[in-house]
Amino acid sequence: MTDLVIRALDEREAPLFDALPDPLGARESHRLTRHRPDWKRVALRDGKVVARGAWWGGPDDTAPVNVNWFDVAEGEEEAGAELLRTAPWQVELEMNLPAGWREDPELRAAAEARFTAVQKAGYELLVERFLYRWTPERGLPERPGRLEFRPEPDDADFFDLLRRIHSATLDAHALKAIDEDGLDRAAQEELDFFHWCPSPREWWQIAHTPQGDVVGMHIPAHNPSGPCIGFIGVVPEQRGQGYAYDLLAECTHYLVERGAEFVSAATDRGNFPMAANFAKAGYPVVRERLNYRPRHAG
């Protein structure tokens, strides 16, 4: 087998990135994503692309946030692993897959080849997630009308709420942050994400009962690809009453009232209560995501 050549691309070489087959439909899932040419890397053998990766970040980020597009040609798992191992950025990797990929033998084989390459590169699976996309033909979820929603200008109130919410959470990323550095880190990571989003700070809202008791919070947001459910959280003492659905319905309405023509969202595959709320609110699963992290991280 001939030697492998791994290199970054520039704008003139952008078509080279598209030379590899796309059995998992990554191109369509990233049609709203802006990738920087110099954050794309390919592995070539005899001048032919056998693996590719696109690192991604926001428009103002100086380094990538994650790898969100990774492919290998059949039988080239080691080339894909080398592409990841030699990258200057060791960050989380997101692998987006078509919904129902497990039931399709060809899709499953393509996905498993990529899993093998990622694991060879020293990444470990953190969590599997459902990706959702609400569109107007699904109909707006009914607002139950049980809660009152108010903005709050003080980040300290949101920080306190996030600590309470994450004290009993099913979210794998929050659990990872708590395990590594406690509740404060988990809360701060969420706040940092909210501020990173280009949507207005005044959109953040805290939910109360009519009696004034705090129930939780919702963050209607825009990420660089469009409107999304930034966060839904209910404090532990208010759980078991279906309030997460109220928050999700309100968040959806809030975004649509501000011009959203679709709303993206995600939840961990193991978060069965939240997955049920998305289904109830008319959010179909459009793709699935596996989040990997470099094994040495954390």
Is the pTM higher than 0.85? The answer reads yes
Using the predicted structure, report yes or no on whether residue 208 has a pLDDT greater than 50. yes
CA atoms within 13 A on the CB side of 82: 15
CB 235 within 8 A of CB 216: yes
Q: Which run of H or E residues covers position 120?
A: helix 105-120
Q: How far apart are the first and last CA of the chain?
A: 36
What local confidence, expressed as pLDDT, does residue 297 receive? 53
What local confidence, expressed as pLDDT, does residue 101 receive? 94
Q: pLDDT tens digits for 256-297?
A: 999 999 999 999 999 999 999 999 999 999 999 999 999 865
Distance CA 259, CA 222 (A): 11
CB 103 within 8 A of CB 145: no
What local confidence, expressed as pLDDT, does residue 298 receive? 46
Residue type, 177: A
Q: pLDDT tens digits for 88-124?
A: 999 999 999 999 999 999 999 999 999 999 999 999 9
What local confidence, expressed as pLDDT, does residue 224 receive? 87
Using the predicted structure, report yes or no on whether residue 205 has a pLDDT greater than 80. yes
Report the percentage of the chain scoring pLDDT > 90. 87
The secondary structure of residue 271, as a DSSP letter, is -
- Tokens 């110099």: give the residue: 38
In angstroms, the Cα distances linking 77 to 87, 110, 112, 264 are 16, 11, 10, 31
Distance CA 234, CA 102 (A): 32
Using the predicted structure, report yes or no on whether residue 1 has a pLDDT greater than 80. no
Q: pLDDT tens digits for 30-88?
A: 888 889 988 999 999 998 999 999 999 988 899 999 999 999 999 999 999 999 999 99
